[in-house]
Structure 1
Amino acid sequence: MTKPAADAGVGAAPPTCPGCGAEVSPHESFCESCGHELDPTERAPERGLADAPINLSRSVRAHSVDLGFAGGEHARTCADCGGAVDVEGWCEVCGAKAPRARDRFGEAPADWLAGTSDLGVRHHRNEDALALAADDRPGSRGVLVVCDGVSTAPDSDRASLAAARAARDLMASTHRAGLGTAESRDAALVQLIVDAVATANAAVLGTAEDPAGADSAASCTFSAAMITDGLVTWGNLGDSRSYWLPDEGEPTQLSTDDSVAQARIAMGVDREEAENSPGAHAITKWLGADAPDLAPQTGQFRVPGPGWLLVCSDGLWNYASAADDLEAVVAELILADPARNHAPLRLSELLVEWARERGGRDNITAALARFGPQQWSGPTLPPPAVEASPLDPESDQATRPTRYAPDAPAGRRLTRHPQDATPQD
């Protein structure tokens, strides 16, 4: 950790950020211009609880798996025999190969906000990442970040996790109220998303052995949603997405992809045709040393009532791209067992399993925030005529990595959504 400048006394120059040179306040922990971490020399001024940054040590790190930038993990024991697992992932007693924590992990910083990331069926490593934060009061303060590593670039699993965590930390620890008006506050929140993209990109560059080597640069997409008392401020680069799925009313895809498929849709090509055509999943914006443009698409949305905010990678939406299709998936998963209290963590796991059963051709990440009661109150749909997916509803998935059992029963499969399409990013 670095100090901004010499302690300011009478006549001394104000402290500046060592990262970008911008003037900073002595009590600030992060530069608001570039996100650089600072060493505050004064106590922050007192402010009300609603204005305080989200307490990351309480709401995130106590509930998430510490994967490290490379997906590493602490000492483990074998699930088959209880023996020690070596650094290469093999049991030293029975020789069984242990799954990696990065293959499937989740975060649940609050009862109303959680997510799950999964390897999928076809890939050899999970290049998706999520990072979440939330205050305890539902709908008050929350951050959801999903990054999808570009599989054609090396070390993109490191890049995506570094980017997601850096952006999450900045948004969760920064309070911006603007100049006191609603318009100024909204603009300040949008600017925080823009700054989070810059911070995430710096984190990606920090994972590279040769940051100047753009030809082999680690890369990832970026999609984030920040909740401030029912106001959702979102931003994205690439083709990870944010959706609003209400209990009643019209579902909406909030973000717009930076991709070849979206360019074709903008020219009038049908969505299903555009998203299943050759090269459709090639993205036109991303984070990384070779990024052509770091200006994210941004927007704001006032939550009108009960529903779900979903931030996800294309490993999920590839099987149900339109917002009404994704809403139908959520409704069917919930109505398969309507008596159960469907918390966001449980629903994110069900969405991951649903995508795996559709083929799991890509890594899969789903992060959810629930507004309103967790019991389903939406339109009534006929439940599927097959059994629910065999997940253990009593397991504590928030504090340890979840494991997918390859020999488990196949579970239910929903069939009224678009046919499999092969992701290419």
Structure 2
Amino acid sequence: MEPDVSEVGTPVCPSCGAGLGVGARFCEGCGAQVDGAPQVGGAAAVSTEPAASSGHPLDNAPISAPTRKPSAALPDPPAAGRRPCSDCGGEVGPDLYCLECGTKAPSERDHFREQPATWVAGVCDRAVRKTRNEDAMALLAGAEAGSRAVLVVLDGVSNSIDSDVASLAGARAAREVLRMPLPAGMGTPQSRDAAVAKVMARAAEAANTAIVAVTDPASPNPASATFVAVVLEGRRATWAGLGDSRAYWLPDDGPAAQLTVDDSVAQAQIAAGVAREVAETGAQAHAITKWLGRDAEDIVPMVGAMDLPEDGWLLACSDGLWNYASEPDALREQVRAAGTTDPAALALALVAFANAAGGHDNITVALARVDQPAVGQNDQTLAPPPIPGGEPTDG
């Protein structure tokens, strides 16, 4: 006879009452975050106060922003410490439903944003067809537009275990390596390029170390993730990529460009002459050939740099976005369609575009606006953004 779960103390979600696995931090049923002490029996009230830090990589995950523009009649903003509704901006109640429109709030890990400065912002979203968010991002920026910014995006590989935890830990670790200005080398372009490549490789290595550190040593399918990092200093952009998360340069005018080159079966097919639209929609379109994680054999990223002579956008993203606009010009058309130079609004618009196009994979969009004369290279470190409250197949 099956035991009565209420009698044996099986933990349940405090929001929807669904059963929870041992050690679960998020409900698989509704996505609500689960605090340390398990609830047993019927659903209980959930505190709106943030839980005390336990050192877990997800403890400081920021709260999400709206993915759709609110209606003309906006409700009063939520009280300090309360979460905003992702649909209308109203206050989310203790039961995780909006007190204004009744919409169910996503978990804090399912949809979050960062905006370290007015000219840099990002959104990381679970997407409508996925059950959890395995993407992650970590951003830095100087307060003055055109000074210095860091965009890091990791896409946790979906067929590995705990990739959602690992990707966030890895993104934050890479960001810390890139907090300091990039080196100038010994004064020659070759020396500078070599020194910069070492720093970008160290960022990938730090991300890999963080991923391994949160991976269960006994895991039969250890966590893994793709990696892309972009550093903007004045009008010079430097990037590093591994896997199939990408960096793009999307100028307001002039040719747009994909900066990174994927480590994937699809990219190998493209290099062999297969049309991009065929390779990127084939059976192995998202089979990657390099990744970060305990079982990774090569974690050295491909590094590049260029000076940006025009105004435009630097974009780091996961395949949840470029799935629907892979060509640089197609992606720029979506940027133009959004009709804004506000990076937070544009990031939300691109996430909404990807969800409307199908939302088959987690979506991360991180943007830096380039439209100011280059200021002097910052020689100070950057403060972190405020926190508001077989071959693996990526996706």
- Secondary structure of 1:256's match? coil
In structure 2, C-alpha distance between the alignment counterparts of 1:157 and 1:277, rounded to whole Å: 26
* Paired position in structure 1 for 2:300: 295
1:156 to 140, 150, 163: 163
1:183 aligns with 2:187: no
Does structure 1 residue 225 correspond to structure 2 residue 213? no
Q: Deviations over 1:254-308 (max 9, x none)?
A: 0000011001001100000000011111101000001121111111111111011
Match for residue 154 of structure 2 among 143, 147, 155 = 147
Where does 1:76-225 land on structure 2 (aligned, <5 Å)? 83-84=93-94, 98-173=105-180, 175-210=182-217, 213=218, 215-225=220-230
Matches for 1:323-334 after TM superposition, within 5 Å: 323-334=328-339
Deviations 1:121-163 (A, max 9, x none): 0111111111000112222211100000001001000111011
Cα distance change of structure 1 residues 284 and 349 upon mapping to structure 2, 3 Å threshold: same
Q: Distance in 2 between matches of 1:132 and 1:247?
A: 23
Give the partner amino acid of 1:308. Answer: W
1:174-205: CA deviations, max 9, x gaps? 55232233432232222110110111100001
1:242 is matched with which residue? 247
Corresponding position of 1:317: 322
1:255 to 252, 256, 260: 260
In structure 1, distance between residues paired with 2:61 and 2:333: 37
CA offset at residue 243 of structure 1? 0.5
Q: Counterpart of 2:193 in 1: which secondary structure?
A: helix
Residue 270 of structure 1 pairs with residue 275 of structure 2: yes
> Is the alpha carbon distance of 1:83 and 1:242 closer, same or farther for their aligned partners in structure 2, counting shifts above 3 Å?
closer
User: Secondary structure of the residue that 1:205 maps to in structure 2?
Assistant: helix
Structure 2 partner of 1:349 = 348
TM-score, normalising length: structure 1: 0.66
Q: Is 1:69 aligned to 2:57, yes or no?
A: yes
Offset, 1:82: 5.9
- Shift in Å at residue 216 of structure 1? 1.4
Q: Which residue in 2 is equivalent to 1:43?
A: none
Work out the CA distance in 2 between the residues paired with 1:196 and 1:240: 15
Q: Distance in 1 between matches of 2:313 and 2:91?
A: 40
- SS of the aligned residue for 2:273 comes to coil
Distance in 1 between residues matched to 2:168 and 2:332, nearest whole Å? 28
Contact 2:288 2:394 in 1 (8 A): no
Does the C-alpha gap of structure 1 residues 90 and 350 become closer, same or farther in structure 2, counting only changes over 3 Å? closer
Q: 1:69 to 1:183 in 2, by over 3 A?
A: same
Counterpart-to-counterpart distance in 1, 2:343 and 2:142: 15
Q: What is the one-letter code of the residue matched to 1:365?
A: T
C-alpha contact (below 8 Å) 2:156/2:394 kept by paired residues: no
TM score, norm. by length of structure 2: 0.71
> What is the CA–CA distance in structure 2 between the aligned matches of 1:177 and 1:351, rounded to whole Å?
35
Distance 1:260 1:214 in 2: 26
| CA shift in 2, pair 1:201/1:81, >3 Å | closer
CA 1:173–1:424: 2 relative to 1, 3 Å: closer
User: How many residues were matched structurally?
Assistant: 303
Q: Name the aligned partner's letter for residue 69 of structure 1.
A: P
Cα deviation per residue 1:223-249 (whole Å; 9 max; x = unaligned)?
011112211111111000000111111
Preserved CA contact (<8 Å) 1:117 1:129: yes
RMSD: 2.9
What does the per-residue CA deviation read over 1:80-114, in whole Å, with 9 as the maximum and x for residues that have no partner?
A: 986535xxx799xxx99642111111111111111
- How has the CA–CA distance of structure 1 residues 181 and 164 changed in structure 2, closer, same or farther, with 3 Å as cutoff? same
The answer to whether the Cα contact below 8 Å between 1:316 and 1:365 also exists between their aligned partners in 2 is yes
Q: How much does 1:71 deviate?
A: 6.0
SS where residue 237 of structure 2 aligns? strand
CA 97–113 in structure 1, closer or farther in 2 if over 3 Å, else same: closer
How far apart, CA to CA, are the structure 2 residues paired with 1:302 and 1:366? 22
Asked whether the 8 Å contact 2:161–2:219 carries over to 1, the reply is: no
* CA–CA separation in structure 2 for the residues paired with 1:203 and 1:188: 23
C-alpha distance in 2, partners of 1:72/1:137?
Answer: 26
Separation (CA, whole Å) in 2 of partners of 1:355 and 1:369:
19
Amino acid at match of 1:110: A
Q: Report the secondary structure of 1:153's partner residue.
A: coil
* Structure 2 unaligned residues grouped into runs of 5+: 1-53, 63-80, 373-385
Note the C-alpha offset of 1:173: 3.2
Query: Which segments of 5 or more consecutive residues in structure 1 lack a partner in the other structure?
Result: 1-65, 335-340, 374-397, 402-422
